[in-house]
Chain A
């Protein structure tokens, strides 16, 4: 066979595997030795391939020798193996992690929207806060924080001021109870919501107040840049007295705005004093305390900066067609607060709790 004729793959493989007879092997060997480039290149590749395959059939050391060698590594180098938690450790680990995160959230104020709180000042007498978990009441002191959902109550001849981060405050009169429902901040403006259960509060909003809402059983009051007093009367009705600014009133039956210098009374919807003749849901205001009523002759809070001579009545009470009674406070000597000397000069300004306190002592 000359160098222009080449052996097939099958012949070369048979030669490598020793399947060719001696004469054929001799001729092929001579051909390769003659320098046929094509056949030599092909032959070398297959030879190399078969040599490689042969190594796959080499014997391996005993398993024990192999194991000893593998184990020797851990003694020489600290093995970095993946941590595999024992199954019974996993729940405990998860529980501890969750507990730690909750603790951190409270300790480091991770969610500011949740942990805003008011704080108490000017606490006099016996003022208590309700433990939301146990339901029991504990005496509070000046400086104590008032978290969301906390209920504060004052006993007889006691009072306290709840001051909020935005500068708002609520002066809690004696034998009164409120619950802080909401205290949030958005874009620098504050939203505060209280529920007044009983007694009387004097409330002052601030410049950064977006919403200051007090809910009662009879309705909801929302003050805007306002100073107002809200009193829950014994039969469940509510009396709103606006000293400054405006307060929006929302009741199930109607909405209205109470302006500075006006007093409004919201009748209790479940009052037993509903006029028998009233069939459309409106209540006859007549049974409710009128300015002449002796029920409110000793108000705990008295406006300290409401000049008597500047307040003009904006609405003449017409009890028959409204459940809200607007009462002029302009110098009315028969007003619930008229028998108290609360002249403008007694206080430096409304909304200041100290002034309010002063007003209390001055007006009593």
Chain B
């Protein structure tokens, strides 16, 4: 099993055992969650960076004391929000606005679930053959927001066939995910 396939509890155990690569994998897995949670509170990128570092240092300190390692993502969201709240208070910003933001945002559990699901979707996506792999990459995974016309031209297919092909490919992806207990 590759280290990227390790569940959170095994990664944490490896971190405690002194394996640097396990810590790097743990950070890679949750840095977007922490950082984006901080950004959604209205912080600037540099402030979100500061929150991200603080949260990771807290995680590093608490590694040996984490009890429910299966809810690490949710714990990180909650810790990030606390750090954001502390930063806002220190900067004497509007805390009520922040509270409203928290209330309207998804729950920490849901956000953590999205991150966990993303790993499963990526794993299933890798199992897709062509042309689905290339088409879904251009439609959903590629950072470039290409239009249907651009994708059709690049993949040398009719623009009108993109919709039906996409549907068939998503159904295949769904089948793989369900077989993997998604």
Judged by a CB distance under 8 angstroms, whether A4 is at the interface is no
Residues of A within 8 A of B141 (CB): 53, 56
Query: How far does the alpha carbon of A5 sit from the alpha carbon of B17 in the complex, in Å?
Result: 56
Query: How far does the alpha carbon of A267 sit from the alpha carbon of B40 in the complex, in Å?
Result: 110
Which 6 residue pairs spanning A and B have beta carbons closest together?
A: A52-B117, A10-B167, A58-B32, A58-B36, A65-B49, A79-B20
Judged by a CB distance under 8 angstroms, whether A74 is at the interface is yes
Query: How far does the alpha carbon of A101 sit from the alpha carbon of B115 in the complex, in Å?
Result: 55
A240 to chain B, nearest CB (A): 76
Query: How far does the alpha carbon of A55 sit from the alpha carbon of B36 in the complex, in Å?
Result: 9
Which of A10, A49, A80 counts the most B-chain CB atoms under 10 A from its CB? A49
Determine if B60 and A76 form an interchain contact, defined as CB atoms under 8 angstroms apart. yes
* Chain A residue at minimal CB-CB distance from B117: A52
Q: CB within 8 Å of B: which of A44-68?
A: 45-46, 48-62, 64-66, 68
Judged by a CB distance under 8 angstroms, whether A108 is at the interface is no
Judged by a CB distance under 8 angstroms, whether A72 is at the interface is yes
- 14 residue pairs of the A-B complex, CB under 8 angstroms, read A9-B167, A10-B167, A13-B170, A45-B178, A46-B174, A49-B177, A58-B32, A59-B45, A60-B31, A60-B32, A65-B50, A65-B52, A73-B20, A81-B20
A135 to chain B, nearest CB (A): 58
Interface of A is mostly: helix
Query: How far does the alpha carbon of A79 sit from the alpha carbon of B23 in the complex, in Å?
Result: 10
Judged by a CB distance under 8 angstroms, whether A94 is at the interface is no
Residues of A within 8 A of B122 (CB): 56
Residues of A within 8 A of B171 (CB): 9
A7 to chain B, nearest CB (A): 11
Determine if B17 and A80 form an interchain contact, defined as CB atoms under 8 angstroms apart. yes
B93 to chain A, nearest CB (A): 21
Query: How far does the alpha carbon of A48 sit from the alpha carbon of B122 in the complex, in Å?
Result: 13
Query: How far does the alpha carbon of A80 sit from the alpha carbon of B17 in the complex, in Å?
Result: 8
Query: How far does the alpha carbon of A59 sit from the alpha carbon of B163 in the complex, in Å?
Result: 28
Determine if B45 and A62 form an interchain contact, defined as CB atoms under 8 angstroms apart. yes
Query: How far does the alpha carbon of A70 sit from the alpha carbon of B35 in the complex, in Å?
Result: 15
Judged by a CB distance under 8 angstroms, whether A85 is at the interface is no
Judged by a CB distance under 8 angstroms, whether A252 is at the interface is no
* Chain A residue at minimal CB-CB distance from B36: A58
Kindly state the interface size class of chain A when it binds its partner: 35 or more
Judged by a CB distance under 8 angstroms, whether A316 is at the interface is no
Q: CB within 8 Å of A: which of B35-87?
A: 35-36, 39, 45-46, 48-50, 52-53, 56-57, 60-61
Determine if B52 and A69 form an interchain contact, defined as CB atoms under 8 angstroms apart. yes
Judged by a CB distance under 8 angstroms, whether A136 is at the interface is no
Residues of A within 8 A of B34 (CB): 61
Judged by a CB distance under 8 angstroms, whether B157 is at the interface is no
A59-B52 CB under 8 A given contacts A51-B117, A79-B18: no
Judged by a CB distance under 8 angstroms, whether A88 is at the interface is no
Determine if A56 and B49 form an interchain contact, defined as CB atoms under 8 angstroms apart. no
Determine if A13 and B167 form an interchain contact, defined as CB atoms under 8 angstroms apart. yes
A353 to chain B, nearest CB (A): 68
B176 to chain A, nearest CB (A): 11
Determine if B167 and A60 form an interchain contact, defined as CB atoms under 8 angstroms apart. no
Query: How far does the alpha carbon of A46 sit from the alpha carbon of B45 in the complex, in Å?
Result: 31
Determine if A59 and B39 form an interchain contact, defined as CB atoms under 8 angstroms apart. yes
A16 to chain B, nearest CB (A): 10
* Chain B residue at minimal CB-CB distance from A42: B174
Determine if A52 and B114 form an interchain contact, defined as CB atoms under 8 angstroms apart. yes
Residues of B within 8 A of A64 (CB): 49
Query: How far does the alpha carbon of A288 sit from the alpha carbon of B171 in the complex, in Å?
Result: 109
* Chain B residue at minimal CB-CB distance from A11: B167
Q: CB within 8 Å of B: which of A321-362?
A: none
A8-B20 CB under 8 A given contacts A45-B174, A58-B32: no
B168 to chain A, nearest CB (A): 8
Residues of B within 8 A of A76 (CB): 60-61
Residue of B53, B56, B115 touching A55 (CB-CB under 8 A): B115
A55-B33 CB under 8 A given contacts A45-B177, A77-B15, A80-B18: yes
Residues of B within 8 A of A58 (CB): 32-33, 35-36
Judged by a CB distance under 8 angstroms, whether A277 is at the interface is no
Contact with A along B80-123 (1 / 0, CB 8 A): 00000000000000000000000000000000001101101110
B58 to chain A, nearest CB (A): 11
Residue of B45, B52, B117, B167 touching A48 (CB-CB under 8 A): B117
Residues of A within 8 A of B16 (CB): 77
Residues of A within 8 A of B53 (CB): 61, 65, 68-69
* Chain A residue at minimal CB-CB distance from B168: A9
Query: How far does the alpha carbon of A89 sit from the alpha carbon of B39 in the complex, in Å?
Result: 49
Q: CB within 8 Å of B: which of A67-106?
A: 68-70, 72-74, 76-81
